[in-house]
Amino acid sequence: MAIRTPVRAVMALLAPALALGATVGLAAAPASAAVWSSCDQWGSTTLNGYTLYNDIWGSGAGSQCIWANSGTNWGVWANHPNTGGIKAYPNSKKVINKSITSLTSLTSSYNVTVPSSGAYNTSYDIWDTDYDYEIMLWVNKTGAVGPLGTSQGNLTLGGHTWTVYKGNNGANDVFSFVRTSNSSSGTVNILPILKWIKDTKGWFGNETIGDVQFGFEITSSSGGLDFAANSLTVSGS
């Protein structure tokens, strides 16, 4: 479980830049030249309605470079040491800014290529506009990683079967939905999950959903590993 972009943006202003090791340049990108790339700790850009973040925020991080052909086709080369603690959450963000009851649909499709080694998860990170609540949807995980909080049992919803966890990181409540088997592609119907939290469990009210982020929460990737979001769509109405 990580402190996400809103809090980390403040951290970026208050803390000195993370001392990164030697970074890999465009060689970390695919053979065809990407339209954007960055090895900066807080590197970001906006492409076709999505904002991309390199987002190297954890202590003890190594090197990481992000590349993008678009906001929905991008990837990361990361070389983080084999130590505990989340090092980075490179991601693509779509802004929704609609209340749960005003949404008629909120869906996303994903297709990723991820390494067989290292320690990481591929996850959605969904925030309300006040950043009081964080909803994580883990579609795959590898290595010694796990969600914050305690298990609330299994649930089939939004097109997938999850183990649900409820916790708090000291700044906000966190509801994590961890897929019971790994998936590299699929479609998630997000709105029923939000309604289940609101209406069935009463864990929050009619929150306004701000950001839907999708990316790779990386704990370790020693030696350098490649992660790619081959395609990604987030659609809310």
Contact, 159 vs 189, CB < 8 A? yes
Q: Is residue 107 part of a domain?
A: yes
Residue 197 — φ and ψ, nearest 5°? -65, -45
Q: Is residue 234 part of a domain?
A: no
- The per-residue pLDDT string of the chain (237 residues; one tens digit each, 9 = 90 and over) reads 444 444 333 333 333 333 343 334 343 445 457 999 999 999 999 999 999 999 999 999 999 999 999 999 999 999 999 999 999 999 999 999 999 999 999 999 999 999 999 999 999 999 999 999 999 999 999 999 999 999 999 999 999 999 999 999 999 999 999 999 999 999 999 999 999 999 999 999 999 999 999 999 999 999 999 999 999 999 999
Return all residues near 141 (Cβ < 8 A) that are at least 6 apart. 120, 121, 122, 178, 182
Q: Is residue 103 part of a domain?
A: yes
Contact, 187 vs 193, CB < 8 A? no
Contact, 6 vs 125, CB < 8 A? no
Q: Is residue 235 part of a domain?
A: no
Domain that holds residue 143: 5-229
Q: Is residue 236 part of a domain?
A: no
Q: How far apart are CA 140 and CA 142, in angstroms?
A: 7
Report the phi/psi class of residue 186: left, alpha or beta, with left for phi > 0 and alpha for psi in -120 to 50: left
Q: Is residue 80 part of a domain?
A: yes
The kind and range of the H/E element at 151 are strand 150-157
How many domains does the chain fold into? 1
**Distance between alpha carbon 172 and the CA centroid of its chain, in Å?**
16
Q: Is residue 211 part of a domain?
A: yes
CATH number at residue 206: 2.60.120.180
For 228, half-sphere exposure in the C-beta direction (CA atoms, 13 angstrom radius) is 11
